[in-house]
Amino acid sequence: MQVTPEFVPESERRRVAGLATRTTNADEADPSKARIGELWGRFTTQNWAERLEQGGAFGPTIAVYSAYESDVSGSYQLLIGREIATSASVTPPLHVVDIAPGKYLVFRFSGPLPGVVIDGWRAVWSFFEQPVAPRRAYTADFEVYREPERVEIWISA
């Protein structure tokens, strides 16, 4: 899958509340250690998108990758949730992550979930393996679920 991302300057800080876990890409490749599927299962079956909206959250579901240990090979936190007002607070089991303003490369994909996201990340990794690709910042990257079968992957650069 060949993709051409769009550079998008993000001038606003986003605050996202949701359920979180810590994992690595190596663990996600091993079904006995994978955590992301279970996290999405909890988010979906426990109706967190709706519950967050009742608490004031807005916008589409967002999955934020942050607190990177190093790079694509290190550990990271994944939080699945929705945007909240910057002054809002949450209680457990919810966590909050702030997405800083900055420059992002936005990759857009369409297709059935979850395959489109998995294939999308493969395309992102391939893009960044190119010698002319910009360096990833590894601050906060995120997926925005715009509608069924349409997702954007925002990579901090």
pLDDT tens string 120-156: 999 999 999 999 999 999 999 999 999 889 999 999 9
Give the pTM.
0.94
List the Cα angle 108/83/48 in 5-degree steps: 95
pLDDT tens string 61-87: 999 999 999 998 999 999 999 999 988
Joined together, the tokens standing for residue 50 give 């709706």
Domains of the chain: 6-156 (3.20.80.10)
